[in-house]
Amino acid sequence: MEQDVHALTPDRFLEEVHSFEFWFLAVEGYLAHTTYGHGDDVADAPLAPADRERLITALCNYCVGELAALEGASGLIALAPTHRTKIFLSTQVVDEGRHLEVFLHRLRELGVADPAREIERRASGGLLQFKEHLRHLVERKDWEGALFAQNVILESLEFAVFQDHARTADPVTSDLLRRIIKDERRHIGFGENELGRWLLAAPGERRRLEIVRRELDRLVLGAVEDTARLLGATPDERERVGRTYLESVERLGLCS
């Protein structure tokens, strides 16, 4: 569909950018001519054994995050208050399922015969706790709390970690991370927009998000610490990823 979305009324604009029509055009721009999420022309490079180990640990933890987002987004469809939000979340479910598939495929390319077992062995305790917490928010039918946990906190964490990793990863991993980040940006935009409009109408609710955030920050920073330790990152590197995460949540201005 060829049209200038910025010429639309605010309601029609949101309907347009959260639609499957928009999603098709967006993903076509960076997923055309790719195989399992990376460009057909990107050649794999051999990895030193220690680097391969570290990459496997990182990918296993990315799978936990993607699974949390996949299950979270699909559970949120039932809670979403409008057709538009249900439709956007169904595009997100497709994105998160694809991310999980891409990471699992990369694990197999690295010679991991049983990714599920490897994920169980290498998953960070903090990240697993976060996944549980998100599941509880969805089960409690807390639409705003769960959307905040998933589309702001978890997405901001993934954004910080993937961006950092893409700078130093091997060419194939770096290429697929850069493409996945584009989806995660869209997911953050949705959470920011929905929650931002909700807070404008009910400013007193900001306090609720602050409470969710305080609890989750602890788990997220624990997950960053765990994963960085498993990856053998220096204290400086761990601090940098934690700071990028905090800054990216701050920038959204949804809570202090």
**Residue for token pair 């391969």:** 52
**DSSP-derived 3-state class of residue 82:** coil
Q: Is 8 exposed, middle or buried (0-12, 13-18, 19+ CB in 10 A)?
A: middle
Distance of alpha carbon 100 from alpha carbon 78, whole angstroms: 22
Helix (H, G, I), strand (E, B) or coil at 56: helix
Q: Which of 18, 38, 98, 99 binds Fe ion (CB under 5 A)?
A: 99
Q: What is the closest distance, in whole angstroms, from the C-beta atom of residue 187 to Fe ion in the complex?
A: 4
From 77-85, 94-102, 140-148, 189-197, give the range in contact with Fe ion by CB under 5 A.
94-102
Q: Does 187 bind Fe ion (CB under 5 A)?
A: yes
What number of CA atoms fall less than 13 Å from residue 18's CA on the CB side?
23
The binder of Fe ion chosen from 96, 144, 192, 226 (CB under 5 A): 96
CA distance 137 to 40: 40
Q: Which is nearer to Fe ion, 57 or 156 (CB)?
A: 156
Which CB, 66 or 164, lies closer to Fe ion? 66
Concatenated DSSP letters of 111-147: T-S-HHHHHHHH--HHHHHHHHHHHHHHHTT-HHHHH
**CA 155 – CA 170 distance, rounded (Å):** 23
- Smallest gap from residue 38 Cβ to Fe ion (A): 15
Selected range binding Fe ion among 34-42, 66-74, 164-172, 190-198, rule: CB under 5 A: 66-74
Q: Which is nearer to Fe ion, 144 or 184 (CB)?
A: 184
CB of 43 to Fe ion, least distance (A): 25
Q: 69 vs 172, which CB is nearer to Fe ion?
A: 69
Distance CA 170, CA 55 (A): 9
Residue 252 CA, chain-centre distance (Å), reads: 15
One residue of 15, 144, 164, 184 binding Fe ion per CB under 5 A: 184
Q: CB nearer to Fe ion: give 56 or 102.
A: 102
Q: Closest distance between Fe ion and the C-beta of residue 46, in Å?
A: 28
Q: Which is nearer to Fe ion, 122 or 187 (CB)?
A: 187
Displacement of CA 50 from its chain's centroid (Å): 26
What are 194's two structure tokens? 């929905």
- Please identify, among the stretches 42-50, 62-70, 119-127, 244-252, the one whose residues bind Fe ion according to the rule CB under 5 A: 62-70
Residue 158 CB, nearest approach to Fe ion (Å): 6
Identity of the residue, 153 or 228, whose beta carbon is nearer to Fe ion in the bound complex: 153
Residue 34: enclosing H or E segment and its boundaries?
strand 34-35
Binding site for Fe ion (CB under 5 A): 66, 69, 96, 99, 184, 187
